[in-house]
Structure 1
Amino acid sequence: MLVGRHRESAHLADLLEQARHGAARCVVVRGEPGVGKSALVEDLVSASGDVTVLRTQGVQAEAPLAFAALHRLLLPLTRLREGLPAPQERALRVAFGEEDGPSVEPFLVAVATLSLLSAAAEEQTVLCVVEDAHWLDAATSDALLFCARRLGADRVLLVFSLRDDAGSFHPGGLDELVMTGLEDNASRELLGQRVGGVLAPGVADRLVQETGGNPLALLELPPALTASQLEGAAPLPEQLPLSSRVEAAFLDRSRALPTPTQTALLVVAADDTGDLTTVRRAVRALGVAEEAVEEAVASGLLVADAQTLRVRHPLVRSAVYQAATGTQRRAVHLALADALTVAGDADRATWHRASAAEGPDLKLVAALQDVGARAARRGAYASALAAYERAAALTTDSAQQAALTFAAARNAWASGQAEHARTLALAARQSAVDPVLLADIARLLGRVEVNLGSAVDAHRIFVETARTVSAFDQPKALEMAVAAAIMRTYGADSGARLADCDVDAEPVEGNDPRTLVLKQLFVAMTLAAEHDWAGATSALDVGLEAGDEVVDLDVLGNLGNAALQLGADAAQQHFYALTLSRARDTGAVLTVVYALHRLCFGYLVAGDWPAVRSSAQEALNLAETVGQRQLRTPALAWLTLLAARQAGDDFDTLLTEVDEATATYPLGILGDPVHDLVRWAKGARAADAGDASGALHHLSRLRVPALTRMAAVDRTDAAVRAGAIDTARRWVDELAPFADATGRPWALGAVAYGRAMTTQTASETDSPPDMGADGLANDPDTLFREALAQYATAGRPFDEARTHLAYGEWLRRAQRRVDAREHLRRATETFADLRAVPLTERANAELRASGETARKRDPSTLVDLTPMELKVAQLVSTGLSNKDVAAQIWVSPRTVAFHLRNVFAKAGISSRGELAQLDLG
C-alpha cells in the first residue's frame, strides 16, 4: 500500500471497476514532478488482476517521431488488427511504418486505435496507462485524446499521467485527479522509512515543510545530507526550488560514479528507444565497456528489465543530460545514430544526427527531408513539420530554405496549426524566387485568410495567384479561379477580376471529370456573382452531371456550395452527403465537420429538423474532440436557430455560447454565415414573441445571399407584420429574377407568397384585382394558391406550412371559415411534426377561431432522444448493422448497442424494424 495515497488509490480502483462493468472511463493524473504519479499508476496495475494492461510513456527526445508511443501501446494487440475494417488496418500499418504507400489521414489512425481498444475490450477489460503524456509525440497524443472522448460502453480505463505544466498535451474536458504533496503524518512516515536511523524532529519538520510532502524529494534529499545534518548538529543547505534540489540530488549521485558509468548514463538519457541492445552498441562505440551499463543500473539511477532500459525518473534524464557538455552530448547522439542505423531505424538515427549538428549539413538536410516525407505519408503532419523546419535551419541555400520552409508551412496547415502555417509561409515567401513555389505559397496564404482572416483579402490573393500561374499552370489557375468565384457568391469580393485569357474554362473533349467540373464551377459561380442566374444554372447543371465521378473532396464540397448558391436543394444535399461519406471513409475529419455543417442547410429547408440537430451536435462534438474549437461555432449557430424555431429552453444558453465563440475564435469565410444564422434565430424568436419590429430588425441584416433567399418567407412576413410593406415588396422584387431564371419551385413559391402578403390590404377593398407581369391576378387568393402549387413540389414543408397558415388566416378574415380550416389543419399538422411550438400554437388558435378544435397530437409517437441516440436510431433504421453504424460515427459497436438499448427502452419497442415507425423528431 502506498503511504498516504489511500484516497487516490481507491478512486482509480473504482474507475477500473466501472470499466469492468462496461462504462469506459478516462482520468488524467496530474501533479508536479516527484509527487508520486508513477507510483500510483504502478499500484493500480499491480492490483488490477485479470485485465489486459497496455502501457506507453512519452519521451521528450522522441517527440518528433510520429506514433512512436502509440506503437508501443498497441503492439500487444497486433493480432486483433485483422478484424478491423480494411482502411483502418492499413492506416495502422502505414502509421507504424510497416507499409509504404499513399498517405493516410491521422484521424483514421485514431479511429483504428479506438476500434482496436474496443476489440480488445470484448475479450477482457483493458487498462491503458500512458505516463509522461506531456512528452507524447503529437500524433499519439491526438489519437489517444480522440479515444478518450469517444469511448463509451467499452470495458476500457485510460489513465494519463502528466506534469502540471502539460506543454502540448491538452486534455480539456477529461476528468482529472490532481495529486499534491503528502499530509504531514504520511510525510514523516515516509521519511522514517527512508532514513532508518536518527532523524531530529526539527530536521524532519523542515524537510516536510520544504518538500511540501513531495514523495520523491522526501526519498532523495535525505541521502544527500550528512549524518550531522540529519541529527540536527549541522545546518541544512540553503533552500532551492524543489525540482532543482531533486535534480541536484540525482546529479550528485551520478557524479559519484566512475566516468565510464556516467557515460553510460548519458547514453540512456539521450536515448529514446529504451532498447538495451541499442544502448550497448552506442556505449561500445564511445569506447566504454558494456559493464558500465550494469553499474549504472546498480546505482539505482537506471531501471532494466529483459531488453529494456530506462532512467528511474525523468528528473534523472534532465539532470544528467543538462549537466553534460555540448561535446559530450554530440558524441553520444552520433553514437546512438550509428547504433540505430545498424538497427534499421533511419528516422531516429536522423534525429540524433540533427541533435549533434553544429552547422549546415546538406547530407543531413536530405535525410531530414526524407523523414518529413515519410511522416507526411503516415499522416503525422506535426512530425513532418518538425523535420522540415530543422532541415530549413541546416541549409545555407536560400532557394532550398524557402522550399523547405514552405513544406513545413504546408504540414503546419495540415496539422491544424493555421497561425504557424501563416508565419512559415510568409517566411518562405521572403526568399522564394521560383514562380511555382511563390504561387503555392500564395495559395496557402489564401486558404489561411479564408479560415482565419479576411475573406476579402483571400479573394484578392486567389485572383492574383490565378492570374500569375495561368501562363505556366492552367490547372492550378483554374483551382484558384474557382475558389475566388465561390467566395464572391458569399459576398467576399475584393474587386479584383480575371481576364478571359487568364483561365481556360472552355470544356473540351478529353477533359477528365474533375477538370470539367472545375470549369463549370468557375463559369457558374462567376455568372451567379453577376446575377446571371439562368446562365449560372445551365453551367452548374453540366457540372452536376459529371460530379459523381469526381473523388476530390474539395471539388465535391464546392459542387455542394454552388448548388446551395443556386438553390438546387437536391443537388446540394447529394454532394454534401457524398463529401461526408467519402470523408468518413478516409478519416478526413475536418472535411467531415464542414460537410455536417453544410448538410444542415438542406436538412432545415427539407423539414428534417432531427437531422439538423444530430448533424450539428456531431460536428460540435468532433470539433471539440480534434481540438478545432472554432469549428464548433457554426454548429452552435444551427442549434440556436433550431432552438428558436422549436422554442427550446436552451435558446438563451446557446445564444450566449455562440456569441462567446464568435468573440473568441477567428471565423474567416464562416463569419457571415454564422452571424446570419444567429440573426435569423433572433428574428424568428422575436416574430414568435409578437415583436414584428424586432424580427424585421434582425432579418433585414442578413448578408449572405443564399441565406437571404432561404429566409425569404420569414423576411417577408416580418416586414409585412411590422408595416414595412415597401421593404417587403422590394425584397420580393429582388428574389423574383432569381426565381424566374432558375425555375426553382421554392423560390417561385416564396415570390408568390410575398406578393400575396403585400397585396392583402388592397384586396380587402371592392376594387377588382390587377394583373401582374406574370399574368397572375394580384389578389391574395390567386397568389396564395400559386404559392401552394409551387411548394407542392418544392420539398420545403416548413415554408409550405407557413403559406397554408397565412392563407388560412386571410381566408378566415375574409369570412371563408370552411375554406380556412383545411389550410389551418395542414399548417398545424406540419408545425406539430416539426415541433415548431410557437407556430403550432398560432395555427391552433387560428383553427379555433375558425370554429374547429384542433386535434391533439398523440404524445406516444414522440420520442425524446439524446443527439447520439437519435443519430444511432436514424442510421439503424436504414438497415445498417451496429458495426456499420460504429464505422459511420466513429464509436465502438458496443457503444452503438448501448445507445440502441436506450432508444428501445424510451420508445417502448423491441426490434430494429420498429424504428422506422417512430417519429424521430
Structure 2
Amino acid sequence: MEQRRHGAGHGENVALLGRGPERAVVDQVLAAVDTGESRVLVVHGAPGVGKSALLGYAENAATGMHVLRAVGVESEMELPFATLHQLCAPLLDRLPHLPAPQRAALETVFGIRAGTPPERFLVGLAVLSLLSDASQDRPLLCVVDDAQWVDQASLQVISFVARRLLAESVVLLFGARERSQGLLGLPELEITGLRDTDAHTLLDSVTYGRLDQHVRNRIVTETRGNPLALLELPRGLTVTQMAGGFGLLRSDTLPGRIEESFLSRIGGLPEQSRLLLLIAAAEPVGDPTLVWGAAGRLGVTPEEALADGTREWLSLEARVTFRHPLVRSAVYRSAPKEDLREVHLALAEVTDPKIDPDRRAWHLASAAAAPDESVAAELERSAGRAQARGGLAAAAAFLQRCVALTVDSSRRAERAAAAADATLQAGDLEAARRFADIADRNAQDEFQRVRAHLVRSRITFAAGLNQEAPPLLLTAAQRLEPFDMDLARETYLIAWGTAALLAAHSDSLKAISAAMKALPAPAGTPQTLDLVLKGYALLVTESRAAAVPVLRQALAALTDLPVREVLKWGWVANAVSAAVWDDQAMRVLVGRVVEGVRAAGALTELPFCLTSLGIAIAWTGDFDATAAIIAEIEDVSAATGVPIAAHVELRLNALRGREAEAEALIAATIEEAGAGGQLMGVTVAQWAAAVLYNGLGRYRQALSAAQVCTRMAELWVSVWALPELVEAAVRAGEDDVARAAIEDLAEAARPCGTDWALGVLARSRALLSDGAAAAELHREAIERLGRTELRPELARAHLLYGEWLRRSRQRVEARDQLRTAYEMFKAIGMEAFAERAHRELLATGESVRKQAVEAASGEELTPQERQIALLVREGLSNPEIGTRLFLSPRTVEWHLRKIFAKLSITSRRQLRDVLPPSEHASTPR
C-alpha cells in the first residue's frame, strides 16, 4: 500500500495496491457524516505497513469536509497538550462560542491564559464542544497520526472525545503502530502486509531487470508484504546484489532495515541537506520559521540545502513534515551526539522564551553536554508550569531531566525527590523508585534523607495495599517532626488512611492514632488538617461520641479545602462525612476530591478517590452513574498498573441483587483480600453478602455474613453492616443477636444525629418493637430517610413497614407501603428486593401491575437516554445536559429525538407526564 511520487523512478504511478477492503472501511466511515453521525477508527499496524497512506487516502476522499491533522512526535511526548494544540489550533477562533468554563479550560491548557489546572474531563468536553461547533458549518475529518507518540495529556483528552462522538458529523481517525492503552475499546482496523500477488507487483515496480524467483519470494516473505519495506529495501543495492540476494542477508529488525535503507540514500545528500533534515527532525512543531532560523545559525542556506534531492524526504510548505515518520526517527537517532547538541542549541536560540519557554528549555536540555545549573533551573520552572496546566507526566519528565543536569548534590537530592513524587503521581512507579534512590544517595542532611524515605513509603502504598506501607509512613512522619511539622502532620494522616484501608483497629492504626493524639496543639486557630487528625485519633483511641464534635468542625472546613491539599490528603479526609453519617456532605466532599485529582491527572490517587465516590453514589441508588465510575476505575487502574479492590462493584452487585455475579465477586474478593491481610476488602465483601442475602430473603446467610463483617470492628463498613445484621437476625429468630447489634448501632448513630443515622436506627429498632411503638418507629424511619437522597434505604424502610403491617393483618395499609417499596425498587434496579416486595404484595392479595413508565416502553430507554430524559424533565437545556454528562449538545438532541420516539411524545414538556415522580436524576459528576 503506497502512493508513489513522481520522479521516484520506475513504477512511479503504482496506485494504492491491494487495499480494497481497507478503503471500503474508510469510505463507510466517511459516509456516516452524510447522515449526521460521527465515527471513530484506530488504524494500527507495523511501521511502513501503510497506515499513513490509508489516512492520506481518507484525507483525499474527504471532499467537502474540513480536515484537521495532528502528528505525534517522539521528541515532544513530554510536552503537555502539544498534539491537542496541533489538532485544535485552526479552530481557536471559535473559542468565544464555548461556555465560559470550557473556554477557560482550553485557554489554560494551551497557555493563552493563566489559571488553576482545569479538570481533565472539562478539557475533553471543551474539545468536544469545539469540534461540534465547527462541524455545524461542514463535517470534520480529524486525523491523528503516530498516536503512539502523542503526549499523555493530549491522548487522554482526544480518547475521551472519541468515546463521546455520536451525532456531530465528525470523523476521528487515529494511526498507531500499536493499540495503546488509551485507545483500547475504540473501533479499530489492523493493517497487515499486502497479499503475495500485490506484494510482487509492488516489488516489480521498483526493481530493474529480472529477479531470481527464489530471491523475489524471499524478499516478499521476509518483508511480510510490508509496502514500505518492499519499496525501500531494494534501493541502494546493485543489480548483482539483488539478483543473488546477498544484499538482503541482514539480521536486524524490519523497521531498522527500512531506516538503514533511508540512511544509505540520505548519506549521499550534500552536507547542508543532511543538516537541514536533522534540524527538521529535532524541531517537533514543523514551524518553517524555526527550522530556517536554526538553519541560518548553523550556516545552512536554502539554495544549497534544497539543491539536490532534499524535497524527496521533506515537505516544506505551511509546515515542515517528513515524507514518512521513519525518516524522522532514522535521521535523528543516527546523528552524532555533537551534531544533535548543536542543532538543539540553535533551535533553543531561535525559540522565543516568552512564547514557548518549555520547548526552549527542552531544546537547551538536549543541547547540554554536561550538568548545567542554568538549564536545570529552566527545566524546574517548566515543570512548575506543566503542573499548573495539569500535565503531571510532563512535569515528571522535566524534573527527571533537571536532576541529570543538576551540579550541586544537595539540590540534586531535592529535585530527585520532587521528580520521584511527580513521577509517582503520573503513574510510573518504577521510574519513581529510581529517582527516590537518587534522592537518598545524594541527600546531604537528615531532612533530605527523610524526604526520600517519605516518597519511598508513598510508592510502596501506591504499588498495592500491603502491610509494609503504614509503619513506613509512620516512621517518616516521626522523622519529619523536627524539620517540617506541616509535612509531618500530612504524613501522619496519609499513614492513618493507609492503615484504615488495610486493617482497621490493627496495631499500626492504633499506633498511628496514638502518635496523632500526642501531637502538640497548633498555635492559634486549628487548621482543617489539625481537626481531621484530632477527630480520627479520637475515633480510634476513645469513641465516636468523643470524635463527632471535632469531625463536624473538620467537615465544615473541608468544603473549602484548596486543591493543593486535596491532592495531598483529600482522599483520607473523604471518610470524615462517613464517620458522622452525613450523606450529602459525603457526595459533595468526595466529588470535589475526585474533581481535583482528575484535574491534576494524579492517576495513582484517582482510583482510590473514585472508589469513595462510587460508594457515595451507590447509596443514592443511581446505578448508571455507579457503573460509569466502576468503568473509570478499571480504566485508570489498568493504565497505571495500580491494583484496586472491586469495592464499588461489590456494592452495586449486592444492591442489584444479581446473585451469580455478586457471589462470584464476593468469593474472589474474600480470597484475595484475606490472603493479602487486607481486612477492609474482606469487610466490604461480607457487607455486600449481607445486603445480597437480605434482598434474596436468605436470612441465615445474611446473618452469617453480617456477623463476620461486624466482628471486624472496622470504622465505617462494619457499622453500615449493623442494620443488615439486625434485619437478618430478627428474620432468623435471633432476637438477642439483633438487640446487641442495635446497641452498637445506637452508639455509632446517635452522636451523629443526622437523618441518615437516626433513620436507619429507627428502622432497625422498629424490627424489635410491637404495636404503636413499632408503627411510630417505622414512620419515623420513612420520614427521616425521605429527607435524604438515600433512595435504597428509604425503599427498604417502606418494605419493612409494609411487611410489619401485613403481619399485623393491616392489609390495606400494607399494600400502600409494599407497592411504594416495589415501585421504588423497580425504578432503582434493586431486583432481589423488588422480588421480595412482590412476594409480600401477593401475600396481601394484590396482583402487581407494572409502572406506568414501563407500560409506555420506559424499559426501552437506555441508561443514558433515561438519564437525559430525567435532566430534561428537571428543566435543563441541551448544553447544560451536555456539560453534566460530557456530551455535545448535538448528541443530546440526537438522544432526545430517540427518547421522544420511544415514549411516543413530541415535546420536552410531555416528559413530566410519562416519567414517574419517583425517578431520581443522576448525581452530577
User: TM-score when scaled to structure 2?
Assistant: 0.84
Which residue, 302, 307, 314 being the options, matches 1:303?
314
Matches within 5 A, 1:595-674: 597-598=611-612, 601=615, 604-605=618-619, 608-609=620-621, 611=622, 613-623=623-633, 637-648=647-658, 652-653=660-661
2:519 alignment counterpart: 502
Which residue, 678, 684, 688 being the options, matches 2:691?
684
Q: In structure 2, what is the Cα distance between the partners aligned to 1:910 and 1:630?
A: 46
Cα gap change, 1:323 to 1:505, in 2 (>3 Å): closer
Q: In structure 1, what is the Cα distance between the partners aligned to 2:267 and 2:156?
A: 39
Q: Out of 833-842 and 11-20, give the one that drifted further.
A: 833-842
In the TM superposition, what is the alpha-carbon distance from 1:162 to its structure 2 partner? 1.7
Q: In structure 2, what is the Cα distance between the partners aligned to 1:410 and 1:588?
A: 11
Q: In structure 1, what is the Cα distance between the partners aligned to 2:345 and 2:644?
A: 51
Cα gap change, 1:465 to 1:569, in 2 (>3 Å): same
Q: Does the 8 A contact of 1:745 with 1:791 survive in 2? A: no
Cα gap change, 1:899 to 1:634, in 2 (>3 Å): farther
Deviations 1:207-263 (A, max 9, x none): 323322211122223332323455x47855425443333222212212223334333
Q: In structure 1, what is the Cα distance between the partners aligned to 2:196 and 2:774?
A: 85
2:5 alignment counterpart: none
Deviations 1:555-584 (A, max 9, x none): 887665312112233443454456678889
Q: Secondary structure at the match of 1:159?
A: strand
Q: Secondary structure at the match of 2:306?
A: helix
Q: Out of 826-835 and 29-38, give the one that drifted further.
A: 826-835
Q: Does the 8 A contact of 1:617 with 1:635 survive in 2? A: no
Cα gap change, 1:84 to 1:843, in 2 (>3 Å): closer
Cα gap change, 1:61 to 1:725, in 2 (>3 Å): same
Q: Does the 8 A contact of 2:700 with 2:728 survive in 1? A: yes
Cα gap change, 1:416 to 1:877, in 2 (>3 Å): farther
Q: In structure 2, what is the Cα distance between the partners aligned to 1:658 and 1:83?
A: 49
2:284 alignment counterpart: 272
Which residue, 44, 47, 55 being the options, matches 1:33?
47
Q: Does the 8 A contact of 1:505 with 1:522 survive in 2? A: no
Q: In structure 2, what is the Cα distance between the partners aligned to 1:750 and 1:75?
A: 55
- The answer to whether residue 851 in structure 2 is matched with residue 869 in structure 1 is no
Which residue, 365, 380, 388 being the options, matches 2:391?
380
Q: Which amino acid aligns with 1:652?
A: A
Q: Which amino acid aligns with 1:822?
A: E
- The answer to whether residue 286 in structure 2 is matched with residue 291 in structure 1 is no
Cα gap change, 1:359 to 1:577, in 2 (>3 Å): closer
Q: In structure 2, what is the Cα distance between the partners aligned to 1:887 and 1:589?
A: 23
1:767 alignment counterpart: none
Q: In structure 2, what is the Cα distance between the partners aligned to 1:203 and 1:596?
A: 59
Which residue, 173, 184, 189 being the options, matches 2:185?
173
Q: In structure 1, what is the Cα distance between the partners aligned to 2:640 and 2:816?
A: 43
Q: In structure 1, what is the Cα distance between the partners aligned to 2:835 and 2:30?
A: 50
Unmatched runs of 5 consecutive residues or more in structure 2: 1-14, 921-925
- The answer to whether residue 892 in structure 2 is matched with residue 896 in structure 1 is yes
Cα gap change, 1:459 to 1:872, in 2 (>3 Å): farther
2:203 alignment counterpart: 191
Q: In structure 1, what is the Cα distance between the partners aligned to 2:271 and 2:595?
A: 61
1:11 alignment counterpart: 25
- The answer to whether residue 351 in structure 2 is matched with residue 340 in structure 1 is yes
In the TM superposition, what is the alpha-carbon distance from 1:655 to its structure 2 partner? 6.3
Deviations 1:323-364 (A, max 9, x none): 433333333333333343699644333323322333222222
Matches within 5 A, 1:269-418: 269-295=281-307, 298-299=309-310, 301-340=312-351, 345-418=356-429
- The answer to whether residue 759 in structure 2 is matched with residue 742 in structure 1 is no
2:10 alignment counterpart: none
Q: In structure 2, what is the Cα distance between the partners aligned to 1:446 and 1:307?
A: 51
In the TM superposition, what is the alpha-carbon distance from 1:77 to its structure 2 partner? 0.7
Q: In structure 1, what is the Cα distance between the partners aligned to 2:138 and 2:850?
A: 51
Q: Does the 8 A contact of 2:29 with 2:39 survive in 1? A: yes
Cα gap change, 1:914 to 1:90, in 2 (>3 Å): same
Cα gap change, 1:207 to 1:687, in 2 (>3 Å): same
In the TM superposition, what is the alpha-carbon distance from 1:185 to its structure 2 partner? 1.7
Q: Does the 8 A contact of 2:517 with 2:534 survive in 1? A: no
Matches within 5 A, 1:92-131: 92-131=106-145
Deviations 1:728-757 (A, max 9, x none): 333223223223433445545555655665
In the TM superposition, what is the alpha-carbon distance from 1:10 to its structure 2 partner? 1.2
Q: Out of 442-451 and 54-63, give the one that drifted further.
A: 442-451
Deviations 1:753-795 (A, max 9, x none): 55665x6xxxxxxxxxxxxxxxxxx757634643543443233
Q: In structure 2, what is the Cα distance between the partners aligned to 1:236 and 1:589?
A: 49
Q: Does the 8 A contact of 2:105 with 2:118 survive in 1? A: yes
Q: In structure 2, what is the Cα distance between the partners aligned to 1:668 and 1:15?
A: 48
1:220 alignment counterpart: 232
Q: Does the 8 A contact of 2:425 with 2:603 survive in 1? A: no
Q: In structure 2, what is the Cα distance between the partners aligned to 1:632 and 1:619?
A: 16
Deviations 1:277-333 (A, max 9, x none): 33333334334443342035x255422232533333233233333443333333333
Q: Which amino acid aligns with 1:868?
A: Q
The total of aligned residue pairs comes to 882
Deviations 1:607-661 (A, max 9, x none): x42x2x132133234446667668999896545544444444xx53576578889
Cα gap change, 1:855 to 1:138, in 2 (>3 Å): closer
Q: Which amino acid aligns with 1:572?
A: M
Matches within 5 A, 1:481-500: 481-483=492-494, 491=504, 493=506, 494=508, 495-496=511-512, 497-498=514-515
Q: Out of 131-140 and 410-419, give the one that drifted further.
A: 410-419
User: TM-score when scaled to structure 1?
Assistant: 0.85
Q: Does the 8 A contact of 1:279 with 1:336 survive in 2? A: yes
Q: In structure 2, what is the Cα distance between the partners aligned to 1:152 and 1:662?
A: 41
Q: Out of 558-567 and 119-128, give the one that drifted further.
A: 558-567
Q: Which amino acid aligns with 1:712?
A: L
Q: Which amino acid aligns with 2:229?
A: A
1:698 alignment counterpart: 705
Q: In structure 2, what is the Cα distance between the partners aligned to 1:581 and 1:61?
A: 31
Q: Which amino acid aligns with 2:221?
A: Q
Q: Which amino acid aligns with 1:502?
A: L
Q: Which amino acid aligns with 1:680?
A: W
1:708 alignment counterpart: 718
- The answer to whether residue 546 in structure 2 is matched with residue 535 in structure 1 is yes
Q: In structure 1, what is the Cα distance between the partners aligned to 2:669 and 2:209?
A: 60
Q: Which amino acid aligns with 1:904?
A: F
In the TM superposition, what is the alpha-carbon distance from 1:187 to its structure 2 partner? 1.7
1:718 alignment counterpart: 728
Identity of aligned pairs, percent?
Answer: 33
Cα gap change, 1:6 to 1:783, in 2 (>3 Å): same
In the TM superposition, what is the alpha-carbon distance from 1:49 to its structure 2 partner? 0.3
Q: In structure 1, what is the Cα distance between the partners aligned to 2:36 and 2:488?
A: 54
Deviations 1:372-410 (A, max 9, x none): 222222222212211111111122422211211122123
